[in-house]
């Protein structure tokens, strides 16, 4: 009888140990799941869908290779973050499509994007990449004088669909019926051709980019002038607004780091 009682006690102790082990396992698993649910998307899957356009000298495709100041900065940031992504993951398309995808698709990003008041709440921002000036360009032979935004309403103004040039005109009260949209990868080239043929009177865009691209396409940029400055701002990497804040912080820290360690300045000297 005594031996039987001892046997029951031994079995009971082992059962309690197994029960405690099971509870510990379940508790640990639950805590892991709870903590994982709070991890940012990039911790679980660090892929960002990256989109850009032909926007020299910041982002452009030359001889089948993606190049430009913003592109090189992006590459340096990816390296700084030890990311598994590379420039091969960047998708080049027209601006309107890239801009729309970045607004609608979680963990999507578009660059180089000018930060404006009306765009502020549409994205989460990493930057600035570089300062920029957006203005309106016209042929000198047209002798156009713009003193205030209302003066635009007597002209035909070319602007890339959903581009900052269009956005700023609308923000400043220019009637949309006077804005003539152009789309596609060759939108800048097409706009200069339209000015040559008097189909539009002027073109609203990033001034530096417009002139750089026109020069590459063989236009005599000495025949054009800036008739009005719309805004001095900065170029940014614009992320979908549902992107986790910790991802934005990680990217911003990477940009800040390459600015501090001299990498940014080394790239800037090339442009």
Note whether 74 and 120 are same-domain residues.
Answer: yes
Would residue 116 count as lying in a domain?
yes
Note whether 243 and 123 are same-domain residues.
Answer: yes
| pLDDT score of 10 more than 90 | no
- CATH number, domain of 161, equals 3.40.190.10
**67-107 pLDDT per residue, tens:** 999 999 999 999 999 999 999 999 999 999 999 999 999 99
Planar angle of CA 62, 67, 68, nearest 5 degrees:
120
Note whether 205 and 239 are same-domain residues.
Answer: no
Note whether 127 and 137 are same-domain residues.
Answer: no
Note whether 226 and 247 are same-domain residues.
Answer: no
Domain interval for residue 254: 44-131+235-268
**38-63 pLDDT per residue, tens:** 444 344 446 999 999 989 899 999 89
Would residue 28 count as lying in a domain?
no
Note whether 157 and 217 are same-domain residues.
Answer: yes
Pairing of strands 49-52, 108-114: parallel
| Higher local confidence (pLDDT), 252 or 16 | 252
Note whether 48 and 162 are same-domain residues.
Answer: no
Numbers of helices and strands, H then E, in the chain:
9, 10
Note whether 151 and 127 are same-domain residues.
Answer: no
Would residue 82 count as lying in a domain?
yes
Note whether 86 and 150 are same-domain residues.
Answer: no
pLDDT of residue 46: 65
| pLDDT score of 124 more than 90 | yes
Note whether 216 and 154 are same-domain residues.
Answer: yes
Would residue 162 count as lying in a domain?
yes
Would residue 32 count as lying in a domain?
no
Note whether 79 and 125 are same-domain residues.
Answer: yes
pTM to 2 decimal places: 0.77
Would residue 95 count as lying in a domain?
yes
Would residue 206 count as lying in a domain?
yes
Max mean pLDDT among 31-35, 36-40, 257-261 falls in: 257-261
- What distances in angstroms separate CA 216 from CA 164, 186, 210, 225, one per listed residue? 22, 12, 10, 17
Note whether 137 and 64 are same-domain residues.
Answer: no
Q: Contacts from 174-177 at CB under 8 Å and sequence distance 24+?
A: 174/149
Would residue 139 count as lying in a domain?
yes
Total number of domains in the chain: 2
């Amino acid at each position: 009888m005594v031996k039987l009682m001892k046997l029951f006690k031994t079995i009971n102790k082992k059962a309690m140990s197994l029960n405690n082990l099971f509870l510990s396992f379940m508790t640990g698993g639950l805590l892991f799941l709870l903590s994982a649910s709070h991890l940012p998307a990039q911790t679980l899957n660090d892929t960002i869908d990256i989109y850009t356009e032909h926007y020299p000298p910041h982002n452009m495709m030359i001889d089948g290779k993606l190049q430009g100041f913003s592109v090189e900065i992006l590459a340096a940031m990816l390296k700084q973050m030890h990311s598994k992504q590379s420039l091969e993951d960047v998708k080049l398309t027209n601006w309107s499509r890239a801009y729309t995808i970045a607004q609608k698709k979680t963990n999507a990003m578009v660059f180089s994007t000018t930060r404006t008041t009306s765009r502020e709440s549409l994205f989460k921002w990493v930057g600035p990449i570089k300062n920029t000036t957006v203005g309106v360009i016209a042929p000198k032979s047209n002798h156009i004088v713009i003193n205030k935004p209302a003066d635009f309403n007597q002209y035909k103004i070319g602007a890339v669909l959903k581009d900052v040039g269009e956005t700023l005109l609308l923000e400043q009260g220019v009637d949309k019926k006077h804005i003539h949209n152009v789309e596609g990868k060759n939108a800048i080239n097409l706009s200069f051709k339209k000015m040559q043929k008097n189909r539009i009177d002027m073109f609203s865009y990033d001034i530096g980019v417009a002139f750089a691209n026109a020069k590459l396409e063989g236009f005599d940029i000495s025949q054009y002038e800036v008739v009005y400055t719309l805004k001095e701002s900065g170029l940014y990497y614009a992320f979908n607004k549902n992107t986790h804040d910790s991802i934005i912080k990680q990217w911003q820290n990477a940009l800040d780091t390459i600015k501090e360690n001299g990498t940014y300045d080394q790239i800037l000297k090339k442009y």
